[in-house]
């Protein structure tokens, strides 16, 4: 199985690199560079309906994505402290890779250190910043499934133009298939520059990149959304168990005329969607861009543009610029409270840390099932946020 790490895993200590440090003359060779156009394939999408629809204006995620592979030859003969790749462009920005074959400092001398850097940082204007998610892979030549992968999301700024790992991998492990008999290392980097919004969920990731991350990030996305819905439901159950207040609310609601109920059963769509983004998108959380993908698709499902036959009956519907309760509020609360809770085995089978998912080895149906599941989870979460806003 491949080894996966992220900023929360503790597997690698994250530090910022100094990109202005004198670059070594012994550079990593850029052996393969795929821009966003080259990454695209003619293979038809097999994702669930509306998973790949993007109605937003501006550059698409696929246009802001790219991948490169670079090779370090004659590793055992390199004496330089620091080696760098050539500059390459992805997402409209120039980047390069920095590798320390004997560690960046004394504390990491038993590790290989690796960083992604913005090129020509001294030419950047004050206030320059861009959010990017990237995956770095050290290829295991004996068994690609044992390749090491690490993921980060980071806002690059004029005064913070590099990010990476002081302790990317222990040096002795390099001889377990990473160097092998060619005395070389092969490093892959995928970069997704993220266009940003604050008003509603949006598409963040290239299609192929998202599919690669689907089985890797699923537990870290699925469980928080599940807990969010379940916690809200437990709160409503407590409300209904308080018979005095519950009956009082029921009496209040029954006295309202139809027009008053109608007005109290809706909320502005933009208010709800801003709340979703505020609650679930955090720049320093590696799954933030990934989860926005499924909120976007979940919203499309909620709008009635995809098959929801297997879904629970909807709590809200979308009418132009409004979220509207799908039924009488008393009936919705009672029905929601009676829905079965997630089973312990469903929760127990979810891993909260990504401790070695082999990337690129899952079959298409597995990835499709993950996407379908997370679309439904995103849809239900939006419904609960909207219902909570209306009910409160």
User: Are 104 and 223 within one domain?
Assistant: no
- 243 and 312 housed in the same domain: yes
Give the end of a domain, one of 168, 193, 218: 193
**Which tokens hold the place of 130?**
């861009």
Residue 202: inside a domain: no
236 and 125 share one domain: no
Q: How much is the average pLDDT of 213-235?
A: 93
Phi, psi of 305 (to 5 degrees): -100, 10
Is residue 198 assigned to a domain? no
pLDDT in tens, 358-391: 565 667 888 999 999 999 999 999 999 999 999 8
Do residues 72 and 150 both lie within one domain? Answer: yes
81 domain residue, yes or no: yes
Residues 32 and 73 in one domain: yes
Name the residue range of residue 327's domain.
Answer: 207-391
Statement to judge: residues 63 and 112 lie in one domain: yes
pLDDT of residue 352: 37
| pTM of the shown model | 0.87
Q: Which of 193, 222, 240 is the last residue of a domain?
A: 193
Structure-model confidence comparison of residues 12 and 314, the more confident one: 314
Q: What is the pLDDT of residue 306?
A: 46
136 in the same domain as 181: yes
User: Who has greater pLDDT, 259 or 48?
Assistant: 259
Q: Bigger pLDDT: 49 or 9?
A: 49
Domain end position, chosen among 163, 193, 223:
193
Residues 6+ away with beta carbon under 8 Å from 229: 380, 381, 384
Residues 20 and 161 reside in one and the same domain: yes
3-state helix, strand, coil in the chain (%, to 5): 40, 25, 40
CB atoms within 10 A of CB 1: 13
Query: Are 310 and 375 within 8 A, CB to CB?
Result: no
Predicted confidence (pLDDT) at residue 348 exceeds the cutoff of 50: no
Q: What is the pLDDT of residues 71-87, one digit of tens each?
A: 999 998 888 889 999 99
Number of domains forming the structure of the chain: 2
pLDDT at 114 over 90: yes
104/153 same-domain check = yes
Q: Please state, in angstroms and rounded to a whole number, the distance separating the CA atoms of residues 291 and 293.
A: 5
């Amino acid at each position: 199985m491949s080894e996966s790490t992220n900023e929360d895993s503790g597997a690698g200590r994250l530090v910022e690199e100094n990109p202005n440090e004198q670059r070594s003359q012994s550079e990593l060779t850029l052996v393969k560079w795929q821009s966003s156009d080259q990454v695209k394939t003619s293979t038809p999408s097999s994702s669930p309906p509306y998973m790949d629809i993007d109605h937003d204006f501006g550059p698409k995620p696929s246009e802001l994505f790219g991948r490169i592979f670079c090779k370090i030859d004659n590793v055992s003969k390199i004496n330089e402290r620091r080696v760098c790749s050539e500059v390459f462009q992805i997402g409209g920005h120039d980047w390069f890779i920095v590798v320390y074959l004997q560690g960046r400092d004394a504390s990491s001398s038993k590790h290989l250190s690796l960083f992604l850097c913005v090129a020509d940082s001294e030419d950047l204007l004050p206030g320059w910043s861009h959010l990017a998610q990237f995956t770095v892979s050290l290829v295991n030549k004996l068994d690609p499934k044992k390749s090491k992968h690490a993921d980060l999301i980071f806002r690059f700024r004029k005064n913070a133009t590099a990010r990476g790992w002081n302790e990317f991998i222990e040096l002795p492990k390099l001889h377990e298939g990473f160097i092998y008999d060619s005395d070389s290392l092969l490093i892959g980097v995928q970069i997704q520059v993220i266009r940003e919004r604050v008003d509603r969920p949006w598409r963040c990731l290239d299609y192929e990149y998202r599919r690669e991350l689907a089985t890797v990030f699923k537990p870290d996305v699925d469980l928080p959304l599940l807990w969010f819905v379940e916690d809200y439901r437990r709160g409503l159950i407590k409300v209904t168990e308080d018979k005095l207040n519950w009956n009082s609310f029921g009496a209040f609601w029954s006295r309202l005329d139809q027009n008053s109920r109608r007005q109290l059963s809706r909320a502005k769509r933009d208010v709800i969607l801003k709340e979703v983004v505020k609650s679930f998108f955090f720049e320093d959380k590696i799954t933030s861009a990934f989860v926005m993908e499924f909120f976007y698709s979940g919203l499309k499902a909620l709008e009635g543009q995809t098959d929801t036959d297997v879904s629970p009956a909807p709590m809200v519907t979308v009418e132009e610029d409004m979220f509207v309760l799908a039924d009488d509020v008393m009936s919705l609360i009672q029905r929601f409270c009676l829905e079965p809770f997630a089973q312990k085995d469903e929760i127990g089978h979810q891993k909260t840390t990504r401790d070695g998912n082999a990337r690129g080895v899952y079959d298409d149906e597995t990835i499709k099932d993950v996407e379908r599941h997370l679309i439904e989870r995103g849809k239900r979460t939006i419904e609960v946020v909207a219902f909570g806003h209306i009910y409160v």
